[in-house]
Structure 1
């Protein structure tokens, strides 16, 4: 079916809807809209996508993973944008976004959208409900990752610039509408890292793994994965060479330096607030499997920060030994605090899962002149 400018103009004005432009050939198994082959959107498929991500991530991060997936889908609308330009039909980013959603939503992807606000760098729109807010309503939370991703991808296709979409209201969590705000933002390392710290993203979104090439990158930086049995082997080798206590001291100092270097890397990215620096480091190490932070407490009288962790790499690797084993983690925590706040501290493990305690607990205090 040949589509011309007059067809799109009639569609935009509401003089026509999408039905005359749908071609269905059940025998050939083809379904086309505006001459572009497409497919139906079964509920079970969308639910399966969400639940697949949720099985490895929590629900909030599963929604963000779906958002990333459908951002790529939205970027495919660049072909439609190029066609409109050839037809000398130049739409603003907001107008182009609304056109794509008309094409989508008249095929069953929820209720029509209403444009609430538009400028060069911000677009706000709402709908009574989206397709996924109906399917995933039992999650009782904001679930519209499909539409967040679409919005970001479509706007990138229209402008060539990065956009971030936030769902401020969602039908699935009991709101009367689903509402979205899209802002044009820089696609920077700092922006991505801060999203991870806030829990809006997971590091898995930014891992580029090419196993056959032997490379892994995390936000453009090369990284390596180290199995815990290799970690254990390294620690045991050092103990045999130096003795248990000297080995613990070497590990403490080595990982303290690693923590400080890690913070310095973040500073080079333009991050300078101490709390953000330390939170970022803790979030990254946690999501990379080093430990999980359960709680952090501050005692003003003794100037002591107490951190309660679980699943530390040492306690998981060594198991039940009857003694404290987390020298590397203690050094790492001290290095992160020193690098972030510009002070000298010492970290001591006061409880350890390898000793039979429920959690690994570390006391971090200011370092005195006489401290070793």
Structure 2
């Protein structure tokens, strides 16, 4: 799924050139839908609202946070590996740019990079993302009502997993603002795990 020039030579794809309509491989005769080599599904977001409700029914808020965060982190790592293998970004910043680009195409929400600081030698990292229209905040409030703390745990896990894979660091992401608790947008702050925990 890399780009091809007039001489049929492959070159790395840029995130700005990504088009999910062209990237998806529809195989209804096999019951498959793929993005690169990764099988994907189309699912209504109401199912996520039901998942939130069931996680609370069988556990508590801590259990729900842990499950959703781990699920998100595994998904973020897998997606970052797929992007590297299939689209072959030419550098880390281009690789990073695919994360929010794909999220916007998927309908997850609209992420905007607010702060980025990275010094590999000093092991310093900070990524601050403002996120509009989070489907998780929407579904949480639909099913559970207003929240008193951030609830987009799956997105926080995804961002941590994706960035950890791209930059080869053990990163942790916290949601510091959330629409579900009345903030104007969701906000995610990613730093080395040692700084947060």
Task: Give TM-score scaled by structure 1 length.
Answer: 0.45
Structure 2: how far apart are the matches of 1:212 and 1:365? 44
Larger Rg: 1
C-alpha contact (below 8 Å) 2:24/2:35 kept by paired residues: yes
| Deviation by residue 1:140-197 (Cα, 9 ceiling, x = unmatched) | xxxxxxxxxxxxxxxxxxxxxx965xxxxxxxxxxxxxxxxxx3234x6x74xx24x1
Secondary structure of the residue that 2:146 maps to in structure 1? coil
SS in 1 for 2:169: coil
Matched position secondary structure for 1:280 = helix
- Following superposition, the deviation at residue 229 of structure 1 comes to 0.9
Runs of 4 or more off by more than 6 Å in structure 1?
none
Structure 2 vs 1, CA of residues 241 and 342 (structure 1 numbering), >3 Å: closer, same or farther?
same
1:357 to 142, 160, 183: 183
Could you say what secondary structure the match of 1:368 adopts? helix
Cα distance in structure 1, aligned partners of 2:18 and 2:156:
27
Q: Structure 1 residues 274, 299: closer, same or farther in 2, change over 3 A?
A: closer
The answer to whether residue 135 in structure 2 is matched with residue 313 in structure 1 is yes
Q: 2:77 aligns with which of 239, 255, 260?
A: 260
Partner of 1:184: 7
Instruction: State the alpha-carbon separation in 1 of the partners of residues 71 and 84 from structure 2.
Output: 20
In the TM superposition, what is the alpha-carbon distance from 1:281 to its structure 2 partner? 2.5
Aligned to 1:368: 194
Equivalent of residue 147 in structure 2, options 322, 331, 337: 322
What is the CA–CA distance in structure 1 between the aligned matches of 2:19 and 2:84, rounded to whole Å? Answer: 21
Consecutive unaligned residues in structure 2, runs of 5 or more:
119-123
| Two-structure CA RMSD over aligned residues (Å) | 2.7
Contact 2:103 2:111 in 1 (8 A): no
1:253-307 CA-partner distances (Å, limit 9, x unpaired): 221122112222233345573222221232112211112113331368x953211
- Structure 1 residue 244: deviation in Å? 1.1
The CA distance in 1 between the partners of 2:55 and 2:137, in whole Å, is 17
- Inter-CA distance 303–206: structure 2 relative to 1 (3 Å threshold): closer
Aligned ranges 1:1-372 → 2 under 5 Å: 164=5, 183-186=6-9, 191=12, 194-195=13-14, 197-198=15-16, 200-209=17-26, 214-219=31-36, 221-269=38-86, 270-271=88-89, 273-298=91-116, 303-319=125-141, 321-323=146-148, 324-368=150-194, 371=197
Unaligned runs of 5+ residues in structure 1 are 1-161, 165-182
TM-score, normalised by the number of residues in structure 2:
0.80
- Distance in structure 2 (CA, Å) of the matches to 1:370 and 1:316: 27
